[in-house]
Amino acid sequence: MRDGFVIEALFQPGRANLTYSHLDRMIVGGVVPAADRLVIDRIAETGTQRFLDRREAAIINIGGSGTVSVGDKDHVLGFQEALYVGMGGGALGFASDDANAPALFYVLSAPAHRSCPTVHITRDMAKKLSLGSAEESNARTINQYVHPDVCESCQLLVGLTMFEPGSVWNTMPAHVHDRRMEVYLYFGMQEATRIFHFMGEPGETRHVVLKNHEAVLSPGWSIHSGAGTGRYAFIWAMAGDNMSFTDMDKVPMEALR
C-alpha cells in the first residue's frame, strides 16, 4: 500500500521532486530552492514540449517566503499563500528569499483543456467552511483556495484544512467520490507526531502511518480519513469529472469495516 499510494521524501533541499500518478494524471511535487533557483519546464512524462502546455497547476508555500516565476512574471508567496497557474503559463521558476529558511513549494498539476488566468491566493481570500465539533473531535476550518468561488480552473480543486485545539479527526464520517481522485499532504506536525490515515473500500479499510510532509493518494473508490496523535493540518487536492465540492457519497458509520 505504501508503494502504491504514499509519497515520501517529498521536500528535499535544492531539488524539485515530482511524482506522476495515473489517478486522473495528477502530478504531485515538492520544490525546495536553496541557494540556487529551480525551474520546472519540460517533463518527459507529459509528452509535451513544456510542462504546462496542456496542464494547469496550483502551488502552495508551506515554508519560508519565496518567489514563483511564471514565464517572465514573479509572484512572491508567503506562508500558506497559493498561486494558481493556467494552461500555457510557461516555465515555472522557484526561489527562496532565505536559503537558511527556504520556501517549501507544494505543486499540484492536472490536465487542462483551456487557459485560465494566473491568480495569487492568500488564506484570507480562500472560501471558508467551518465543520465538525469539539464533541466529535473534528472541529475544523476548510480553506478553499482553488475553487469556482475563488478563481477559475479547469478541474483542479485545492484547499487547506486546519483544526481547532483538541480536534484530531479529518473527513470522518467518511465519504467517497468516484468522479474524482484526491491527494492529501499532511504538514505542520511535530517530529514525533503521526497520522493514522484510513483508506480502501468502506467495507474493507486499511491504514497507513504518515509523518510530517508525507502525501497519500486516494482513488475515487477509496475513503480518505485520518486521525493524528498531535496537531496537524493538511492540503487536499482533487481532479476528475466535476468540480462540485459537495458531490460525494457519504458512508454510514455502520458500513465501515
113 is in an annotated binding site: no
45 is in an annotated binding site: no
3-state secondary structure of 224: strand
- Identify the sign of the CA torsion 41, 43, 47, 53: negative
All residues at 6 or more sequence positions from 182 whose CB lies less than 8 Å from its CB, including other chains: 217, 218, 224, 236, 237, 238
H helix or E strand, kind and range, residue 5: helix 2-5
22 is in an annotated binding site: no
3-state secondary structure of 3: helix
255 backbone dihedrals φ, ψ, rounded to 5°: -90, -10
Q: First-to-last CA distance in the chain?
A: 17
Grid cell 521536500 is found at 11
175 is in an annotated binding site: yes
Residues of each annotated binding site = 175, 177, 182, 224
Residues of each annotated binding site for Zn(2+) = 175, 177, 182, 224
